[in-house]
Amino acid sequence: MKSETPARPRSAKTPKRRETLLRGIAVSPGIAIGAAFDTSEAPAEAPRRRITTEAIEAERVRLADAVAFSRKQVTKLKTRIGILPEEAQEEIAPLLDAHLLMLGNSRLIRGARKRIEAELLAAETAITDEAAAISDAILATKDDDRAGLSRRATEVRDIARRVTRNLTATPFRSLKNLPEGCILIAEELTPSDAALLDPARIAGVATDEGGADGHTAIMLRALGIPSVLGVPGLTETVRRDDPVVLDGAAGSIAIHPEAATLTAARGKLAAYARERARLGRLRRLPAITTDGEEVELQANLEIPQELPLIAQAGAQGIGLLRTEFLFMNREDLPDEEAQCVAYRQILEAMGHDPVTIRVLDWGGEKDIAALAEGVAPVHAGANPALGLRGIRLLLHRPELLEV
């Protein structure tokens, strides 16, 4: 639920438009009142192109450079998610780790390289074709979890689009300096885009495409941004600065809302504020079950920037301190002193509350450049959790555990 932000005033000569009501898929509950801000992204211009045999090596280099730059972009994005709410971080971090894996020696990249050589395709055509083939294969899999398959296929296409934009030097959409309290309007929003949104500035989100089960929807719910996706004709109807009332629970968007619509929306906002205040008063009370047993609620900590959230939530300690943050996004391994400084900062912030530290759990979806050479974890077939990773890796490399 978001507070109201007034739309920018229009010229006195502009006639008042009638309310238009659009409906889509209810994705993230809450009421947003504000001005529309269109952030639709120009598509990457990448017409199908073939190459000569002499150009194969040059195209492979182009692809490698674009993939490397894409990895840098995703790695940089990972460093920026520390300001997001914990639930949002827990959703986006594994997704970005998966993107980094796909930007490594994955089937997608290997397949694109092969298409350049075997089919004499330009790099952007090769990766687009390979992504389409992989996505189609995923969606053709016989599995009851259709939503999960759809998310996996979307991830592959999202990575291919990123590489293609870098190959063609097509600018990415800018989500910086958005007007405070705006309602973001777009044709679609990728999970990577959603990770860049500041829930303190964005009142709501609405898109032409998307559904309730995708990674973008999950991210928006985790961020607490009222959202409606899959709205037919949205970007054709809404114009920048149009006043909008968005109801994320009902899946509706009122453009140029009438007085009655605004009054009802403001009433819902006030009711939500009262409920938030009531819950806030309960935060510091003991956690007691219905049969009278008192339990201790502790928090998980992924990065030190989350420490203020622990205090705000009234947690009584850290039940799991993940240590991977010390190793991520750096070229070398942290020495004993660097680790001591980080742990000391956390322990001092927690005072007398308990802190349980988990040793490095590298492998699976995680990507640590400093360990990539020579110690890449060995995955066990379809279940990477059974490979050389976590404590098995540390026992194999005891110097890491000793530090």
Task: Quote the pLDDT of residue 88.
Answer: 72
Torsion over CA: 218, 223, 226, 232 (sign): negative
- Residues of the chain predicted below pLDDT 70: 1-16, 82-87, 303, 305, 328-331, 362-389, 403
CA distance 135 to 151: 10
Q: What's domain 287-402's superfamily in CATH?
A: Phosphoenolpyruvate-binding domains (3.20.20.60)
Give 287-314 pLDDT, tens digit per residue: 888 898 988 888 888 767 677 778 777 7
Task: Quote the pLDDT of residue 365.
Answer: 42
Helical H segments across 168-290, by residue range: 191-194, 215-223, 234-237, 259-282
CB 360 within 8 A of CB 396: no
Task: Quote the pLDDT of residue 403.
Answer: 67
Task: Quote the pLDDT of residue 387.
Answer: 60
Say how many C-beta atoms besides its own lie within 10 A of residue 74's C-beta. Answer: 21
CATH architecture of 20-41+175-282: 3-Layer(bba) Sandwich (3.50)
Q: Where are the domains of the chain?
A: 20-41+175-282, 53-167, 287-402
Task: Quote the pLDDT of residue 34.
Answer: 95
Q: Three-state secondary structure along 270-283?
A: HHHHHHHHHHHHHC
Task: Quote the pLDDT of residue 359.
Answer: 83
CATH of domain 53-167: 1.10.274.10
Task: Quote the pLDDT of residue 373.
Answer: 46
Tokens 């885009």 belong to: 193
The reply to whether domains 53-167 and 287-402 share a CATH topology is no
Beta strands in 256-354 (DSSP E): 287-288, 294-295, 299-301, 318-321
Task: List the 25-28 sheet strands across, edge first.
Answer: 20-23, 252-255, 243-247, 31-38, 182-186, 202-207, 227-229, 25-28
Contacts of 229 (CB under 8 A, 6+ apart): 24, 25, 27, 189, 205, 206, 207, 209, 210, 211, 212, 214, 216, 217
CB 315 within 8 A of CB 296: no
Rounded-to-10 torsion of CA 213, 215, 217, 223: 140
Determine if the pTM surpasses 0.85: no
